[in-house]
Amino acid sequence: MFLIAGCDGEPTMKEKVSLPLISDIPESTWQKLSQKKIYFGHQSVGDNIIDGINNIMENNNVIKLNIKKLDDVQTFNAPVFVHSYIGKNGDIDSKFNDFSQNIRGGIGDKVDIAFLKLCFWDIRKKTDVDVINVDEIFNQYKKTITGLQEQYPQTTFVHFTVPLMSHSNGIVDKIKRIVVSDNDDLDNIKRNELNRLIIQEYGGKEPLFDVALIESTLPDGRRMIFSKDGKDYYYLPDEYTNDGGHLNELARKHVAEQLLITLARLVNSN
């Protein structure tokens, strides 16, 4: 739904999103999900999401996932939701390589669903050594996942967009954005650009979890948007973070709930 836009990063009514609820999913579907073998490769925001899932399960006894950290491939001999760190933040190659090695190291022969999530710190205007090229990163991601899909056709790979960071909106921040060409907004623009490529490639075609959509949507459905050069970009609201990037308690539950719903709908459609 498109209404009247705001500006300068204020919550706007330009887009309003209606997100599904845990209660929309029948108990039988949660039972079906609990019988799946799932692998999630991530870093710290992934920990935030796992914490959110655990918090939800503490207050909802219908959702019963066996969440474990990766030990070895034998962990997948029974239904389980396994997660592990992959690579190093800021080193995208290491994340793709670690995820691929884990899948090819035995997980791919056992798992039903697998996904990796990059970190907000992986996608910036430039790293310490190079300028980020989102087309190259997207092509690298696509090559990695396509290779795994071909090798493990029985495994469903879920695509993730990249998490966002906040957009400081004080008067000093607004002035800095005018006088300093290299600012934090340019990092979020790069994340948005990569996310658009991911959505364009996989949206409506293959399973996709739009982390950035969830992160930028307030509880009342409004999305956080800033504009630059006539284009709109999404960002993480201050209500969802204590440090500009990681998820606080409210956001952990918010994102985890939508991931659970996405997975539940996925298993129900198979």
Please report, for the domain that includes residue 76, its CATH number: 3.40.50.1110
> Distance between CA atoms of 111 and 127, rounded to whole angstroms?
34
Domain membership flag for residue 3: no
Q: Residue 265: pLDDT band by 50, 70, 90 thresholds? A: very high
Residue 199 lies in domain? 11-269
Q: Is residue 2 part of a domain?
A: no
Contact in structure between 191 and 235 (CB atoms under 8 Å): no
pLDDT category of residue 168 using cuts at 50, 70 and 90: low
pLDDT band at residue 184 using 50, 70 and 90 as cut-offs:
low
- Three-state SS at 110: coil
For residue 31 the two structure tokens come to 């039972």
Q: Which of 69-83, 111-125, 131-145, 158-172 has the lowest mean pLDDT?
A: 158-172
Q: Does 134 fall in a domain?
A: yes
Instruction: Calculate the CA dihedral of residues 161, 95, 85, 119 and round it to 10 degrees.
Output: -40
Instruction: Give the helix ranges, DSSP H, for 35-122.
Output: 44-58, 92-104
pLDDT at 229: 87
Top pLDDT among 2 and 193 is at 193
Is residue 4 one of the residues assigned to a domain? Answer: no
Domain count, the chain: 1
Q: At residue 207, what is the residue type?
A: P
Determine, yes or no, domain membership for 116. yes
Q: Is 59 within a domain?
A: yes
Query: Residue 99: what residue type?
Result: F
pLDDT beyond 50 at 228: yes
Instruction: pLDDT band for 12, please (50, 70, 90 cuts).
Output: low
For residue 40, being part of any structural domain is answered with: yes
Mean pLDDT check: name the lowest of 25-34, 56-65, 164-173, 259-268. Answer: 164-173
pLDDT band at 160 (very low <50, low <70, confident <90, very high): very high
* Cα torsion 96, 99, 104, 109: sign: negative
Taking residue 103's Cβ as centre, other Cβ atoms within 10 Å add up to 24
pLDDT band at 172 (very low <50, low <70, confident <90, very high): very low
Report how far residue 137's alpha carbon sits from residue 118's, in angstroms, rounded to the nearest whole number. 11
> Is the pLDDT at 115 greater than 70, yes or no?
yes
With a cut of 70, say whether residue 5 has pLDDT above it.
no
Query: CA 86 to CA 122: how far, in whole Å?
Result: 12
Q: Nearest 5 degrees, angle CA 56-CA 60-CA 62?
A: 125
**Would you place residue 269 in the very low, low, confident or very high pLDDT band (cuts 50, 70, 90)?**
confident
- Give the chain's mean pLDDT: 89
Is residue 16 in some structural domain?
yes
Examine the pLDDT at 153 and tell me if it is beyond 70.
yes
